[in-house]
């Protein structure tokens, strides 16, 4: 696909400056002159009006109760960008929906008075610029990895952040650990003029999307596509080809978008995986993406599922 990297969170040309990660003196200088994105329980700080990320000075009061050091994201047109977890902050507003698939809540920090809010990234991704999207995806995913990997996988001892956030080291056994990215296939499965759509029981009412699943150890992307579709919907798939990828920081996945041609059309869903699945014609999907169908709400704009569906509708997969 010629415009494969135009998908949300795709490459924006961010200079990750990996050669600087092992230079703590240089990183310290960059931190003093750059900007740090606060992230609270996975929710980045956004401007309430523009919905773009808000970077603060490293010594801002918001960070006074922060845990580990900031992680270095890279150079944004000459400006150093970092992200730092501030989940220790306890907001006064209700947090019941935090972490849910749909989280409409927004949290305000008492040390910020300019309208900035901690907001769920999935709900705001369509408003982002390519650069903002790459920075937010990188920062959110990297901080989530640190949150869930504080102990050495070899000996169980506490590990410590190193390499400006791109590594964790174990002082007890000398083990080195690196950020984890989970490979996931997401499939545009077609048969003639129709595409296979399914819904998880945990999704908002009426929402349908493409089928997806994790790639297993020792498995190719193509084999994962065929296995997942058959396991979830009972549909056999023949030819498979790769189309596009998307970093998906919910929490730390890399989505491999593929097209698969179904060789059968009878659907038998696995109720542990799907609540419903059915074939949708091109005309029906056009109406759904235009908001003209109450029974089908396609995946959100910004997701690779929506990206692939729209390319299919426009006959622009090649």
State both tokens at 307.
Answer: 């990206």
CA dihedral 90, 58, 12, 213 (to 10 degrees): -30
What CA–CA distances, in Å, run from 133 to 12, 157, 207? 8, 34, 23
So what's the pLDDT on residue 2?
87
CA dihedral 204, 189, 254, 11 (to 10 degrees): -100
Q: Which residue has the tokens 């769920």?
A: 120
312 closest CA partner among 278, 286, 276: 286
Residues of 12-46 as b/e, b for ≥16 C-beta within 10 angstroms?
bebeebeebbeeeebbeebbeebbbbbbbbbbbbb
- Strand-pairing partners, residue 39, are 44, 85
Residue 276 CA from chain centroid, whole number: 24
Domains of the chain with bracketed CATH = 4-147 (no CATH), 149-179 (no CATH), 182-313 (3.90.79.10)
Detail the DSSP E strand segments found in the chain.
Answer: 35-40, 43-47, 71-76, 79-85, 116-118, 160-162, 167-169, 176-177, 182-191, 194-199, 211-214, 237-248, 253-262, 276-281
CA atoms within 13 A on the CB side of 37: 34
Per-residue pLDDT of the chain (318 residues; tens, 9 = 90+): 889 999 999 779 999 999 999 999 999 999 999 999 999 999 999 999 999 999 999 999 999 989 899 999 999 999 999 999 999 999 988 788 998 888 999 999 999 988 999 999 999 999 999 999 999 999 999 999 999 999 999 999 999 999 999 999 999 999 999 999 999 999 999 999 999 999 999 898 999 999 999 999 999 999 999 999 999 999 999 999 999 999 999 999 999 999 999 999 999 999 999 999 999 999 999 999 999 998 999 999 999 999 999 999 999 998
So what's the pLDDT on residue 187?
98
Q: What is the DSSP letter of 263?
A: S
Contact yes or no for 256/1 (Cβ under 8 A): no
State both tokens at 69.
Answer: 């050091």
So what's the pLDDT on residue 67?
85
């Amino acid at each position: 696909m010629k415009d494969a990297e135009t998908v949300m969170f795709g490459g924006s040309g961010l200079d990750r400056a990996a050669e600087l990660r092992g230079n703590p003196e240089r990183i310290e200088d960059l931190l003093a002159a750059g900007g740090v994105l606060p992230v609270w329980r996975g929710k980045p700080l956004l401007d309430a009006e523009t919905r773009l990320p808000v970077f603060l000075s490293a010594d801002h009061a918001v960070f006074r109760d922060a845990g580990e050091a900031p992680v270095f994201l890279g150079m944004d047109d000459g400006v150093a960008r970092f992200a730092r977890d501030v989940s220790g902050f306890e907001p006064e507003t209700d947090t019941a929906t935090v972490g849910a698939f749909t989280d409409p809540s927004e949290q305000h920090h008492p040390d910020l008075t300019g309208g900035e809010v901690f907001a769920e990234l999935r709900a705001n991704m369509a408003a982002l610029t390519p650069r903002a999207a790459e920075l937010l995806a990188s920062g959110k995913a990297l901080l989530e990895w640190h949150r869930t990997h504080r102990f050495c996988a070899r000996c169980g001892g506490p590990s410590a952040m190193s390499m400006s956030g791109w590594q964790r080291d174990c002082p007890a056994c000398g083990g080195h650990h690196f950020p984890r990215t989970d490979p996931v296939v997401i499939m545009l499965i077609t048969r003639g003029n129709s595409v296979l759509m399914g819904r998880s029981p945990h999704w908002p009412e009426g929402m349908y999307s493409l089928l997806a699943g994790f790639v297993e150890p020792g498995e190719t992307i193509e084999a994962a596509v065929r296995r997942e579709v058959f396991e979830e919907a009972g549909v056999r798939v023949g030819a498979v080809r790769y189309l596009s990828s998307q970093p998906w920081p919910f929490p730390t996945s890399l989505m491999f978008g593929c097209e698969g041609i179904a060789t059968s059309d009878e659907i038998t869903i696995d109720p542990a995986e799907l609540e419903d699945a059915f074939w949708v014609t091109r005309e029906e999907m056009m109406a759904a993406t235009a908001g003209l169908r109450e029974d089908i709400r396609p995946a959100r704009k910004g997701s690779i599922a929506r990206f692939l569906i729209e390319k299919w509708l426009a006959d622009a997969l090649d």
